[in-house]
Amino acid sequence: MIHPPESEYPPNIRFIKRDILAPLPQEWLGRFDIVHARFLITGIKDFPALIRRLSTLLKSGGYLVILEPELKCRLTTSSRSSQDEGAEHSTAKTLEEVCPGIARYNKIALQAMQSFGMDMQATSKIPSYILESGSFEEQSVKTQCKELPMSDWSEDPRMKQIGECQLSNSLAYPDTIKRMVLASSIIDEVEFEIAKKGYQDDIRSGQGRPVLPIWCIWAKRK
């Protein structure tokens, strides 16, 4: 589903659905100033090959911009910092202690992904993949990590609004990979529903301020 609806598109915008692993149209090669790719890390096993393909779409001096999540959520760093400062001898609580439902589903999801040969560290390797492609200026490769609130727990108005928008995605996440989880045979469907409920209960509560770390990586084409 694409938002806004097609009737509201500017006249110079088109959406074209294609298989990124299929041959690209010849007329697209070297045509674009910016190529943006996001949330492909769980669907593409050979990420270096993907980067090489995307680089062929760029003009010289064009930018590749990649947005990918870490493959598990965590407590916000601000939450952990405040716990550290609360008492002289206190220890910051872990995700397992504060959000056991989220922690359990994290573990299940990662085990399922690994069973299908996915690289759990792929997001952190993207800058290296870009450099290894040989198509980008070395000094132009930049990274930035932002914490995406998984629900509306934030007191900051802007972050709260982002969390409100993200809440439906966060709650839907277990079902988006349900087929893969069940195919991995790690758990059965009854156990899946129990784990899903625990995860969703923790998301709704906002306890511990769970976030999904999102990495933005960009580089300039030679």
Residues 6+ apart with CB under 8 A from 216: 65, 66, 67, 143, 144, 145, 146
> Does the pLDDT of residue 90 top 70, yes or no?
no
- Tens digit of pLDDT for each residue in 174-219? 999 999 999 999 999 999 999 999 999 999 999 889 999 999 999 9
Architecture of domain 6-220: 3-Layer(aba) Sandwich (3.40)
Cα–Cα distance between 72 and 177 in angstroms, integer? 13
Residues 6+ apart with CB under 8 A from 222: 60, 135, 136, 137
Q: Which residue has the tokens 């090669």?
A: 29
Let me know: does 46 contact 192? Beta carbons within 8 Å: no
> Does the pLDDT of residue 82 top 50, yes or no?
no
Q: What percentage of the chain exceeds 70 in pLDDT?
A: 91
Domain boundaries, given as residue ranges, for the chain: 6-220
CB atoms within 10 A of CB 1: 3
In 3D space, the residue among 70, 114, 117, 113 whose CA is nearest the CA of residue 95 turns out to be 70
Cα–Cα distance between 47 and 215 in angstroms, integer? 15
Cα–Cα distance between 138 and 130 in angstroms, integer? 9
Is the bond preceding residue 157 a cis peptide, omega within 30 degrees? Answer: no
- Tens digit of pLDDT for each residue in 143-174? 999 999 999 999 999 999 999 999 999 999 99
Q: Give first-to-last CA distance, the chain, whole Å.
A: 35
In 3D space, the residue among 207, 209, 187 whose CA is nearest the CA of residue 105 turns out to be 187
Cα–Cα distance between 165 and 17 in angstroms, integer? 25
What's the token pair of residue 21?
């692993």
Cα–Cα distance between 154 and 68 in angstroms, integer? 22
List strand residue ranges (DSSP E) for 10-73, in order. Answer: 32-38, 58-69
